[in-house]
Amino acid sequence: MNTRQLVLKIVTEFEDCPKDLDSLIDKTLKFTRIDHRDRRFVFELVYGIVRYKLYLNYVMDKFLTVEPEQQTQTLRRILLVGVYQIMFMDRVPDHAAVNESVNLAKSHPETKAASGVVNAVLRNVIKKKNKIELPDPQVNLVQRLSVEYSHPEWMIERWLKRLGLSNTKKILAFNNKKPEIYLRRKIREISRQQFESDVRTLCEQAVGYLNLYYKMNKAIDTENIRLIQMGLCNVQSPSSGWVTAMMDVSRGEHVLDLCSAPGGKAVLMAEMIQESGTVVACELKFKRLLKVVQTSRRMGLRNVYPIACDGAALPFTGYFDKVLLDAPCTGSGVLHRYPDGRWTRTAENISKLVSVQRKLLESAAKSVDSNGIIVYSTCSLEPEENEEQVQWFLDNHKDFRLDDPPDCLPGMYVDASGYLRITPYEHGLDGMFAARFVKV
């Protein structure tokens, strides 16, 4: 299979049975012999198509004159591949996008006879790509934003109602940017000076919690970075680092990480508590737990103890100094990293996730020692998953109170209620929420 055939295969599998996009791409490419440049091309094309799916279909339908009953899903997906390249990939010449899409249609038995349709539609897109008329915002603002930014209407309606038009547009634009990749330097085993010397051509200056985070300025497969292979750094966003800062762990403490995968926060806490402390890292799905195992082993941390279990029904008893509950959520604060989430989540998911989060909070409350700390966090922007959960917990657990965030938290990330609240529209970073409870 060539790269575009691989893209078509991945997009088809995703639309037929939506699942984690990274895992789907990795599984598909695992037994191919494509080089790293073609691999990046596949990732960019797949992620771009999924991210802009609604907009691309809107553009396609402007020029596709075939009757709906004659439009196969394969034909539409091949057109998605072509339209995305024409609209968003400057490095692919328009004529190449057309020719390769026509060849893709010819290579598939279902669309062989429709290669002329593919050619005609894409050539029309090229002629009129700068004159695409979008829905009139005066008639239907939600529809206009939905098409222009390729987001489901239910999400936009929620954000408009709560955050207003300006902030909503900032979120939508942020979600359509390519996510920035950060390397998180290991605290020990390499000095800051040495690390910065080693990454001077790859990364910008240090930022974030303890100045451990370096934004990459080159498109390189992170698995090929020598410092990662050596266990001297990890890929992690600065927003996740500030959640770890809310824990404020100290040497020798015993910490429970209830929903640990992929393990970035667990290994950072393990470094900080050192060998005299422990991090018990729980994860429900074994495949996700393996990521925690791999990360902690690669970074040479022997005080992380991974356990495959449901964090809401722990198979052990005991009390910990601190508990981190980075809860499963809608992920509406990190849709730029996971564009599939805008199509796989629904408004109904929120109430289901709220129920799961509460069960995990109950488990956390039973696992923390007197004067111990619970940090509850999500990468969601939705109040039902954030401040409303905090209030529910305090109403139902009178032996806990809201605690002030540690002094290391910058004021710009702490709201008037004392919550960690990082938003795409205010800070241009992954959306993150966290609250800190203390058992009294």
- Distance CA(252)–CA(97), nearest Å, equals 58
**Residue (of 99, 57, 96) closest to 79 by Cα position:** 57
Cβ(169)–Cβ(145) below 8 Å: yes
Cβ(116)–Cβ(54) below 8 Å: no
- Distance CA(380)–CA(419), nearest Å, equals 13
- Distance CA(233)–CA(52), nearest Å, equals 32
Catalytic pick from 233, 259, 282, 379? 379
Q: What is the DSSP letter of 413?
A: G
Is residue 379 among the annotated active site residues?
yes
**Residue (of 215, 324, 229, 328) closest to 273 by Cα position:** 324
Residues 157, 162, 166, 170, CA torsion sign:
negative
Q: What is the DSSP letter of 382?
A: -
Q: DSSP string spanning 201-261?
A: TTEEEEESGGG-EEEE-S---GGG-HHHHTTSEEE--HHHHHHHHHH---TT-EEEESS-T
Cβ(340)–Cβ(21) below 8 Å: yes
Q: Which residues are catalytic?
A: 379
